[in-house]
A and B are shown apart, each in its own frame.
Chain A
Amino acid sequence: MLIRNAPDLKDCDVTDQGLYLARRQFIAGAAGLGLAACGGASPASAAPLKYSPNRMSIDENKTPLDDVTGYNNFYEFGTGKEDPAAYAKMMRSRPWTITVDGLCDRPGSVDIDELIRRFPLEERIYRMRCVEAWSMVIPWVGFPLASLIKSVGPKSSAKYVAFETLRDPRQMPGQRSAVIQWPYREGLRLDEAMNPLTLLAVGLYGQTLPNQNGAPIRLVVPWKYGFKGIKSIVRIRLTDRRPQTSWQMLAPGEYGFYGNVNPAVDHPRWSQAKERRIGEFFRRKTLPFNGYGEQVAHLYRGLDPRKLY
Chain B
Amino acid sequence: MSTRLRLALWSLLALLLGSALLGRAAGESGLAPGAFPARLSAWGLIHREGGMLKARAGSVTYDLATPLFSDYALKWRVLFLPKGAKAAYDPDRVLDLPVGTVIAKTFYYPLAPTAQPGGEEVLKAHPADYQTGVGGLRVGRVRLMETRLLVRRAAGWIALPYVWDEDQRDATLERVGDTIPLTLVDGAARTSFVYVVPGTSDCAGCHAPDYTKGAINRIEPIGIKARHLNRRFPGAFGDINQLARLVRLGLLTGKPAAAEIPANVDWRDARLPLNARARSYLDINCSHCHSPVGAARTTGLWFDQGHEHGADWTNPTRTGLCKQIVAGGHGGGGRPFDVAPGEPDRSILLYRVGSNEPGTMMPELGRSLVHAEGLALLANWIARMDGQCRLASEVR
Q: Do A and B bind each other?
A: no
The residues of B with any CB-CB pair to A shorter than 8 Å are none
The residues of A with any CB-CB pair to B shorter than 8 Å are none
